[in-house]
Structure 1
Amino acid sequence: MKYLLFFFFSFLSLQAMAQEERDNAVSKKDTVRKSLREAPKEAPKASIDKYRILTLERDTTYIDTSLSIKKDYQFNHLRKDNFGLLPFPNDGQTYNTLDFGLKQNNVYPEFGFKAKHFNYSKASDINYYSVATPFTELYFKTVSEQGQSIDAFITLNTSEQLNFSLAYKGLRSLGKYRNSLSSAGNFRFTTSYFTKNKRYKADFHFVSQDILNNENGGVSNLNNFESNNAQFTERARLEVYLEDASSFLDGTRYFLDHSFRINTNDGSNNLTINHQISYEDKFFEFKKATFTDRFGSSYKSSDYSDGTKSNFLYNKLGASFTSKLLGDLNFFVENYQYNYLYNRIIISNNQIIVPNTNNNKLNAVGGKYFYNKNKIKGEALFSTSISNQAFSTLDLSAKYEINKKNDFSFQYLNQSKIPDLNYTLYQSSFVNYNWKNDFKNEKINTIKLKANTQWLSAEAQVTLLNDYLYFKDVDLSDTIVISTANQYQKTINYLSLKASKELKFGKFALDNTVLFQQVTQSDNILNVPKLVTRNTLYYTDYLFKKALYLQTGFTFQAFTKYYSNEYNPLIGEFYIQDKTKTGNFPLVDFFINARIQRTRIYLKAEHFNSSLTGRNYFASPNQPYRDFIIRFGLVWNFFQ
């Protein structure tokens, strides 16, 4: 609530600042701002390149208010295309990962609890802005039961040099199953600044995020779900494993990336000092009030409360030499400090003490070369540790652009990754969930090839995994789940081929995305479906003298059967299993989308074939996929 109030008052303040800026701009005869002030109901007269979105890596795109099938794919709580992710029944819950290629690795040890992080924004997810006039975007979407999903955003430049943005993404959904409430809040603040001669540049952001889920552990009697018994179509009547459990992830981050050019004037050769600093704290907690034996024996008979805290401080200091002839060369040193702790010390049954803290200071040195000339872009990054704990990264990539419609790219990535902290240390009220491990680094070798052409977009990935870390259920019963951290001593080979193509026939179009995956391994450790597909047939046209742009059609999704991972809410992670296969069920959505000026309206009948193709659709072995539901929402943009 405090962030909502802060957002509201900040919005009013920024609007006042914007009004003052416009008044000053008129006095200075700024024709662009004056034209916008005199005709606010019209489309902005500033050119599109005046409304820029910049990533941390300084890649630039522009604000886009058009309606396309890609925008339909992004109309969800994550605000991005979630192909390769299979959502759980309620909004705001976790996702089962169908596409292993989506996984990204940081060589530094991270907090863990990855199943809780799908809606958690990392530093690389935060964008920065530069706009000619204040810009606002409002997102709204209905949820599965009693609640709503919103995302409100505003950005403005008080001058060409200084930009601010404020955003709040919130969700609350009761869900159709027992004990499945979801509640989340993501507050974001950014600012960007540069001096008039662009000698000094800075990007700063602050984020505060909290994700609360009531955790029911899945349906305990799947026969009731799969039956056509009318009483069980009311999903709240189905028995679940956990009636009063919940998990909570909370995090805040302060981040600054800035640089200072040594030479006074921007010339063909520049020397720049770069500094990046990030401080982040996280907290994960699992709670349950009444007795359960779902996770085996416990030290307590009720009031379970397992909390894990951590904080991370990252510093990167570097010097860059930029030459228009030779490219950019950067040398840097990194310092990464972390504290990971519990509020107790556990002595296991065999008298092994499980400590309550894990902290360390890691240092690395490295260099990065960037070349961009004519039609070729290339990057080479190498970093290695200079501290006691070894880790390293080698990242080589190149892109060749034939023209605006055709380009090819290549990447080779070699990583020696330190295990995430919850793999090495964990404490719990449940006896079998206490461990202190000394795992080796994960070794990850990846080759990626991409081709974006006017005929087809395709990419291939080959990954070799050594010392792969995973969680596994070691209990053989169906009612008890004991997930332990493990390291696979053999090599896993992963191959994926992904292709996308949109075919147009007049006002009709067929958009296709197909993913093929193959894993070679001695045991069922890395489990993925061999085939994942999404096909959308839709119709577009202008109506009412082109006042409304209509888009309507069907989206078909499916994936082949495989041993899908199961979710464990106690540790906030997925674990592997080889008892139950899921897949081979079609998901068909019908949608009607429209754009009126700068407002995009979405109406969708999700999984409307659920009662026609049999009730055997699951997001994981114990978690059903979503039933048929009608959703409504909109994205509304304002140029002021």
Structure 2
Amino acid sequence: MRIFLFLSILSFSCFFSQRSQINKIDTKVSNTSQSDTIIVDKGRKDSLKIFKPTINDYQHYTQFSERKIFDTVFTIDKSYQFTQYNNQDNFGKIQFANIGSGFQDLMFHVNKEQNLALLPTRKSHFILGIDDVKYYDVKTPTTSFIYHNAMKQGAALKTTYTQNVGKNFNVALEYMGLRSQGVYQRELASSNNFILSSRFNSKNNRYRFFTHYIHQNVNNEENGGIEDLSLFLGDDTRFNNRQNLAVNLTSTDSRFSYRRYYFSQEFQFV
């Protein structure tokens, strides 16, 4: 009986001590939470910032042009642009049968860059000049892919990656690859464009620079036209496939390669 009474007193004392300890812990936690709340009220701010970008936060422009929205969404007003394999407005130009074979100008224009004027007009459309290189201003890292089907075999793909490092400095990397077999013999077209560009604006917008590195090559198989036009205009079903039509030149091609290092800086006193 004494042993049972002793065990009962011992268990009750242990329970009371644990309960009081729990109460002390709860009180301590409660006091801590209250003190933290007081510190927050005194001016401690959370470093987390919520950014909600809009389409106007993504822009591109050339060195001497106005800013435009960097938007690749296919809409009605941009159908004339993104239906072309080079993603440009080709008004006033006639495209050849195979993409990558060039354009024939219908309007006269002066090429501002003398080194590009030395190229044949048909090929000069693929070589990007200084005023054709785009610079970007984006609030978040941005990537775009634009894909076009080619004639017979191949494809045209343009990809862009750009990112702002800080608020006033941007770096962009662009690549365009094209390969198209064509519908006639000796009409294979292939090209590669690689651009690394960067731009910087000072905080007061008085100083800025533009720089880029570009490497391009344009390679085309050339033919001298169909040997016998009667086969093209006739009703012979053997020549419904235009690859069966014989051409005048069978071992001719053209190769152009272009590389440029560019740096330009501006400073405004006022």
TM-score range, shorter chain: 0.7 to 0.9
1:100-137 C-alpha deviation (Å, 9 max, x unpaired):
15x23338574232221112111111111110001111
Determine the C-alpha separation between the residues in 1 that align with 2:183 and 2:103: 17
Instruction: Give the equivalent residue in structure 1 for 2:183.
Output: 176
Aligned residues: 223
Determine the C-alpha separation between the residues in 2 that align with 1:153 and 1:28: 32
* SS at 2:250 equivalent: coil
Counterpart contact for 2:113–2:129, Cα < 8 Å: no
Instruction: Give the equivalent residue in structure 1 for 2:227.
Output: 220
Determine the C-alpha separation between the residues in 2 that align with 1:180 and 1:65: 30
Determine the C-alpha separation between the residues in 1 that align with 2:74 and 2:112: 35
Instruction: Give the equivalent residue in structure 1 for 2:11.
Output: none
TM-score where L is the length of structure 1: 0.34
Counterpart contact for 1:73–1:81, Cα < 8 Å: yes
Identity %: 30
* SS at 2:99 equivalent: coil
2:154 maps to 1:126:
no
Counterpart contact for 2:72–2:144, Cα < 8 Å: no
* SS at 1:171 equivalent: strand
Determine the C-alpha separation between the residues in 1 that align with 2:95 and 2:158: 19
The alpha-carbon deviation at position 72 of structure 1 amounts to: 2.1
From 66, 81, 92, give the equivalent of 1:84.
92
Counterpart contact for 1:70–1:81, Cα < 8 Å: no
Counterpart contact for 1:191–1:203, Cα < 8 Å: yes
TM-score where L is the length of structure 2: 0.77
Determine the C-alpha separation between the residues in 1 that align with 2:95 and 2:254: 17
Instruction: Give the equivalent residue in structure 1 for 2:50.
Output: 31
Letter in 1 for 2:110: Q
* SS at 1:115 equivalent: helix
Instruction: Give the equivalent residue in structure 2 for 1:105.
Output: 111
Gaps in structure 1 of 5+ consecutive residues:
1-26, 33-44, 263-269, 271-640
* SS at 2:140 equivalent: coil
Letter in 2 for 1:93: S
Letter in 2 for 1:105: N
Letter in 2 for 1:165: A
From 96, 99, 103, give the equivalent of 2:104.
96
Determine the C-alpha separation between the residues in 2 that align with 1:176 and 1:58: 38
The alpha-carbon deviation at position 234 of structure 1 amounts to: 1.1
Does the C-alpha gap of structure 1 residues 162 and 111 become closer, same or farther in structure 2, counting only changes over 3 Å? same
Return the index of the structure with the highest Cα Rg: 2
From 242, 245, 251, give the equivalent of 1:244.
251
Q: Comparing both structures, which one devotes a greater share of its residues to helix?
A: 2
Counterpart contact for 2:213–2:262, Cα < 8 Å: yes
Does the C-alpha gap of structure 1 residues 131 and 28 become closer, same or farther in structure 2, counting only changes over 3 Å? farther
Does the C-alpha gap of structure 1 residues 65 and 95 become closer, same or farther in structure 2, counting only changes over 3 Å? closer
Does the C-alpha gap of structure 1 residues 164 and 107 become closer, same or farther in structure 2, counting only changes over 3 Å? closer
Determine the C-alpha separation between the residues in 2 that align with 1:223 and 1:118: 33
Letter in 1 for 2:94: L
Instruction: Give the equivalent residue in structure 1 for 2:55.
Output: 48
The alpha-carbon deviation at position 212 of structure 1 amounts to: 0.3
Letter in 1 for 2:111: N
Matches within 5 A, 1:418-497: none
Letter in 2 for 1:84: G
Instruction: Give the equivalent residue in structure 2 for 1:186.
Output: 193
Instruction: Give the equivalent residue in structure 1 for 2:13.
Output: none
Instruction: Give the equivalent residue in structure 2 for 1:150.
Output: 157
Q: Comparing both structures, which one devotes a greater share of its residues to strand?
A: 1
2:258 maps to 1:255:
no
Q: CA RMSD in A?
A: 1.9
Instruction: Give the equivalent residue in structure 2 for 1:234.
Output: 241
Determine the C-alpha separation between the residues in 1 that align with 2:80 and 2:65: 25
The alpha-carbon deviation at position 233 of structure 1 amounts to: 1.1
The alpha-carbon deviation at position 31 of structure 1 amounts to: 2.7
1:28-75 C-alpha deviation (Å, 9 max, x unpaired):
54431xxxxxxxxxxxx2133321112211411112244323322212
Determine the C-alpha separation between the residues in 1 that align with 2:178 and 2:94: 19
